[in-house]
Chains A and B, each alone.
Chain A
Amino acid sequence: MKNKETENNGFDNINNNSANNSFKNNVVENNVENKSVNKSNKNRSNNEEELLISHPPHIWNGFSTSKLMYIFLASLIFPVASAIYFFGLRAFWVIIASTATAPLIEFIIKKARKKKFIMDGSALITGLLLALTLPPRIPIWMVVVGSAFSIAIAKEAFGGIGYNIFNPALAGRAFLAICFPVEMTRWYLPQNFGTDAVTSATPLSDSFVYEGSKIALYKNMFFGNIGGSIGETSALLIAAAFIFLIILRIIDWKVPLIFIATIAIFSLIWGEDVLFQVLAGGLMFGAVFMATDYVTTPVTNLGRAIFAVGCGLITFVIRKFGAMPEGVCFSILIMNGFTPLIDRYVKPKPFGFVREKIKVKTKS
């Protein structure tokens, strides 16, 4: 009934892959569901055709990476809207240049590395996020350079999606900030179409002076009518995108909230204007779209909390003591570097964990 051939026809691929080398192939093959060759069964009435083999589970919820990425991309419509509304056509071209460059560069690099190019939307996200963190009047060629750096160096050089240590968009921004410090810090007040642009300092820099009441300042910061990177100014629309992402369970709500709360608490301790610190600069944008990036942040709840507190702390220190007016970008990049460490040492305790047992094990 069952002979040697049955035994060798791939059935033992399922569990018993003790050899390392054969394992990789088996898993990949089984996943694509190779047909098992049932030579021995050919003669039997029931097995004229071949049966498929694969691993459990045999059902999948169908929520793929690209679906996830496109939903995230959809949420970015909110900051894109504010960018175009406040900074006009110029912002539109920055966004187009960056978003178009990213997948193109990824395609070229995948071809050069002889890997399969999968259009899963992650490159679009990187390009778009980078564009939204740039000042409105940056030359387009710089945008292209930054976007290319994000994909080529910060993402593909590490091995592509899932392997990058640093958030590609932020790495691209940091690269541009270091290479072109003048262009990257030339801020403009939001302009309506047609009128000439007026340079202005961002609210966080020392030279920033606001003529008017504090309430009006908060109001402008909340709605986005203030100088800054094209996508980061409107707290309202970023909050809308945040709620959209939470409802669809794309991002973890804890990270942005802890990040912002840390800044608020330290501002309170240092006697800073709490509301101003929270609304100013790229904090909201970074907390919602950058600190929640899957690849470059820890995976456990506690790890994510540590990550968010670290981001908040470093941001506050840079803002308060550093040479730069804003520190969200660098704080997230620094914490990205800590992510592998956090994942290694902050593990959830398994169900029914008993401390004594582990101690006995390590002794023996």
Chain B
Amino acid sequence: MVKMIKKGFFSKGLKLPENKISAFMPIRKLPVPGKVLILLQQHFGESCTSIVKKGDKVKTGQIIADSDKLFSAPLHSTISGTVTNITKTLNPFANNIVNAVEISGDGDDSWVELESTAMEEISVNLNKIYSGKPDDDPKAVKDNLQDSQSLWNKLIKVIDETSKEEIIKKIRNAGVVGLGGATFPTHVKLATKKDIDTLIINGCECEPFITSDHRIMLEYGWQVLAGAYIIFKVLSPKTAYIAIEDNKEDAIKLFEKLIMEAGLEEKFGIFSLKSRYPMGAEKTLIKNILGKKVPVGGLPMDIGVVVNNVGTAKAVYDSVSAGKPLIEKLVTVTGDIEKSGNFLVRIETPISDLTACCGKFNIGKMKVIIGGPMMGNVVTDLNFPVTKAINCVLLKQTKGMQENNCIRCGRCVNICPMNLMPLMYAAYAKNGKYEVLREYYISSCIECGSCAYVCPSAIPIVAYIKTAKSVLTGYEK
């Protein structure tokens, strides 16, 4: 039996209206865009420098930019065509100017030759089994089960035979970064020299509206598990858990079945967590699963834990099994629009291409939010591209809110998952006394937005915190 642990105690969580409108919309593939502008920094760490010149012909999946620094991941062309320009542009998500490569597509979408591995054939067969419709004939079901078990055995054997260094090299070359939003280069995470005793595959999608991780788990479940096993193999922890919130019953059931079929009951368990915000945040997730706290300023590795998003696990599997680079991303488009949905798009597709598939919507008085409603930033231009960090485009009509005086009700203090005093940040930042905020541990803030959500005076606390943080980092420099 698969270890099923139900745990739900999360004292400081918010219960948000879920609004997962697109949860039952199957993934749709969008056509390849005609022209892309590839930002040369889409990950946490050093930005890449382009290795192509103007006028070069590139193919889909070809590396166009790289860096020799450790904290970096290469970038690939997401379409085939010609490099038309190498320029500088505003990175809307980190608010800085970055280099960018403009590629004009030739419409062929011809790929570079991918490395073929022993895993490929198994993948094709496994895909056949899992993507097929469920059979009513019990004999066929039994056959399928046996097939899948033998295929899993083969796959696990192949993974076991692949060396750790080779896997990490493949992951790096594919440009895999953490797809939960932090975009921490995965190869750096996996190359840790610290003793890891727990691996957590994070399937908690605690923000309202977003359903991309949910769809990944449902439609690419076996790839996620295989990717998780690859990560497990590299890190060799004692146990691994797949953490899923209890509002995704179907995903929990699917993974229970998959783990049984793959014969990984010994290694993998499932954690069914209560759906509270911010459950999916790394630190709160570890606290809820293991009861351990990540030290201030530290990484989960410091306490022997590695957390990876389900999307990352799938990308890891794709890169190791077929050498396929990370050039596609699943994005949820939802909110105040006619049809919401989950789309598999090439990275650097403009957001307007996505919204065009969602029926009519009234752009006036509309906010276009990249990410969820709690932490997402707005963009001012629908032509901004999808990057590795994006998992949701939320269109939301909103009313203006009036900021009132803080009445010190203490709701923000009670709700803060990081045990901070957010009202002090707003109070001191308003007066420009940013230095004092260090005494209130401002660097521990994860900007989850819970404080501003519950604030009866509608104070934009997160805005004050972000400003204070950027001013304080400015002081340090």
Contacts and interface: CB of A to CB of B under 8 A. Distances in A.
Interface of A: 1-2, 6-7, 9-12, 14-18, 20, 23-24, 27-28, 30-33, 36, 38, 41, 44, 46-61, 63-65, 67-68, 118, 120, 122, 160-163, 252, 294-295, 297, 299-301, 304, 343, 347-354, 357
Contact of A351 (B352, B403, B417, B439): B417
A15 B462 contact: no
Contact of A58 (B283, B367, B384): B367
B363 A56 contact: no
29 contacts: A2-B383, A2-B384, A11-B379, A12-B95, A17-B470, A20-B471, A23-B429, A36-B380, A41-B380, A46-B383, A53-B380, A54-B460, A55-B463, A55-B466, A56-B462, A57-B453, A57-B462, A58-B396, A120-B404, A161-B405, A161-B407, A162-B407, A297-B408, A304-B410, A347-B439, A348-B420, A351-B444, A354-B298, A357-B295
B398 A51 contact: no
A2 to B, nearest CB: 5
Nearest to B97: A7
A306 to B, nearest CB: 14
B407 A59 contact: no
A13 B354 CA distance: 26
Contact of B381 (A17, A41, A59): A41
Nearest to A36: B380
Contact of B457 (A18, A65, A299): A65
A51 B402 CA distance: 19
Given A38-B381, A41-B381, A348 B375 contact: no
Contacts of B293: 351-352
B420 A350 contact: yes
B453 to A, nearest CB: 5
B453 A61 contact: yes
Contacts of A161: 404-405, 407
A54 B457 contact: no
Among A32, A46, A64, A161, which residue has the most Cβ atoms of chain B within 10 A?
A46
B11 to A, nearest CB: 12
Interface string B325-338: 00000000000000
Nearest to B442: A350
A162 B298 contact: no
B458 interface: yes
Report whether over half of chain B's contact residues are helix, strand or loop; otherwise say mixed. loop
Contacts of B449: 56-57
Interface of B: 16-17, 37, 89-90, 92, 95, 97, 102, 208, 283, 287, 293-298, 352, 355, 363-369, 371, 373-384, 394, 396, 398, 400-410, 413-414, 417-421, 423-424, 429-430, 432, 439-441, 444, 447, 449, 452-458, 460, 462-464, 466-467, 470-471, 474
A63 B440 CA distance: 26
A173 to B, nearest CB: 21
A357 B297 contact: yes
B364 to A, nearest CB: 5
A54 B367 contact: yes
A342 to B, nearest CB: 12
Given A162-B407, A353-B296, A63 B456 contact: yes
Nearest to A296: B408
Contact of A56 (B17, B368, B377): B377
Nearest to B445: A350
A118 B464 CA distance: 24
